[in-house]
Structure 1
Amino acid sequence: MPKGVTKRRPRTRAALLRAALATFAAHGFHASTIEQICEAAGYTRGAFYSNFGSKDELFLALFDDHSARIVSRIAELIDAATAEEFTLQDVADALSDIEPAERDWYLVSTEFTLHAIRNPHAARALAEHDARLRAEIARGLREQLTRAGRALTVDADELARLLIAIREGGLAQSYVEPDRLPPGRLERRFLVPLLTALTTDLG
């Protein structure tokens, strides 16, 4: 493959991902067409199929991209904690951070999850990507809880599932009633007592 094409490929892929997220959020996963995504990105169908085999594959690439950004964002917030004594509150504050742009991802991911529930092949693929995200969350939890002087008394993967459920369930309510329940409020209110109950003091 020519060097120019090789260098352009990451830019093309990134542009298609950005266009796909915006298109899916505006029109829905099923209603959006590959043509709409290509038009929004400024590329042809050929460019799409040189990067993705289907809309499902495109969504899963979005999932991995979003997961990496969220994990990185949480790590940055935790690393920025300047308190002399790192606490469970620092962990909870990082996990409670919800950026405004998260709403678009919530719309897209919720619709794809419903699609996966109806489609066994999509469900298996989504479960694999979910598992990789949970593994990253579980690893980070163990590390940061140790830093806070705590150790888990439950399975880290199961706790990661619970934290994801709290985040997604809280966002569903927040986006319906944004004035009554700002995004992240439930996590800020309940994660410290939850993590306290599910950990033990290392000291």
Structure 2
Amino acid sequence: MGTTTEAENKPAESARRQKTRERLMDAAFEVFSEVGIHAATVEMITERADFTRGAFYSNFDTKEELFLALAERGYNERLELLRASVANIDVIMPTLLEQNPGSLTATELGPIVASFLEQQGDNRLWFLFQSELRLLAMRDPEVGKLFLQQKHAADQEFGNIIAAAFTAVGITPAIESVELAIVLMNTYEASLQEAIMAGGEKVQERAHELFMQRMLGLISQLAS
């Protein structure tokens, strides 16, 4: 009967380690979003993931390291979703494109913009997590540098996607794509923040309503 070699064991160990790491990150994302990075403890994270402290420290040196790993993962995931969105722009807005190819008004473009911003999962938890990240970035210059790198990459990517959406329906952005992304994202996040503060179960729906109200006046200034 053959024996398992050390080389054969390594892939299995690596896969188990990756699964453990991902479970810790998933649990930490929820905990950080719910109570904040400073109130969160290693014990709270490991309990949520159903692991021991040993499992945590075999993957991360500190909860701050885990926090930054979560930020990087979150931005990468959302950039992939945005890339998929522009690759399937005719799927996202088929009815509008079929009925009004190249002739949409600025007002009709609002729901298209909202669709890009809203199709990224639980925006409430991500917004809460980002709020914690911003606070940490303002207090810690090293984290600030990382935060700005990630944000600039996301703004550029989102700007390219929204500019492509504008072009697809025959509307030209009135400002640079990155500035367009910043204005739209800030408007959406302000709406989401207000909806979260208002409480209730329908946060996403309320955020959409607020965003669309603000977009009606804003979109005509952003597109020509």
TM range (shorter): 0.7 to 0.9
* Equivalent position amino acid for 1:164 in 2: M
Aligned length: 200
TM-score normalised over the length of structure 2 = 0.74
SS of alignment partner, residue 73 of structure 2: helix
Please say if 1:131 is aligned against 2:139: no
In structure 2, which of residues 72, 89, 92 is the aligned counterpart of residue 80 of structure 1? Answer: 92
1:187 aligned partner: 211
Q: What RMSD, in angstroms, separates the aligned Cα atoms of the two structures?
A: 3.0
Equivalents in 2 of 1:173, 1:3: separation in Å? 47
For residues 41-120 of structure 1, what are the structure 2 equivalents within 5 Å?
Answer: 41-71=49-79, 72=81, 75=85, 78=89, 79-83=91-95, 84=98, 85=100, 87=104, 88-95=109-116, 97=118, 101-120=122-141
* Equivalent position amino acid for 2:92 in 1: A
Q: 1:120 to 1:109 in 2, by over 3 A?
A: same
Equivalents in 2 of 1:62, 1:24: separation in Å? 10
* Equivalent position amino acid for 1:13 in 2: R
Q: 1:50 to 1:152 in 2, by over 3 A?
A: farther
Check conservation: 1:115, 1:122, Cα contact below 8 A. Answer: yes
| 1:70 Cα deviation after fit | 4.0
Please say if 1:140 is aligned against 2:161: yes
Larger mean CA deviation between 189-198 and 10-19 belongs to 189-198
* Equivalent position amino acid for 1:111 in 2: E
Equivalents in 1 of 2:73, 2:158: separation in Å? 15
Larger mean CA deviation between 183-192 and 121-130 belongs to 183-192
1:160 aligned partner: 181
Check conservation: 1:56, 1:122, Cα contact below 8 A. Answer: no
More helix by share: 2
Equivalents in 1 of 2:61, 2:178: separation in Å? 31
Equivalents in 2 of 1:134, 1:185: separation in Å? 23
TM-score normalised over the length of structure 1 = 0.80
Equivalents in 2 of 1:127, 1:54: separation in Å? 22
2:35 aligned partner: 27
Check conservation: 1:96, 1:187, Cα contact below 8 A. Answer: no
- 5+ long unaligned stretches in structure 1: none
Write the deviation string for residues 144-194 of structure 1: whole angstroms up to 9, x where unpaired: 111111222212112222222112221221112246991122322233542
Q: 1:104 to 1:39 in 2, by over 3 A?
A: same
Equivalents in 2 of 1:130, 1:16: separation in Å? 24
Larger mean CA deviation between 142-151 and 27-36 belongs to 27-36
- 5+ long unaligned stretches in structure 2: 1-6
Q: Give me the identity figure in percent.
A: 28
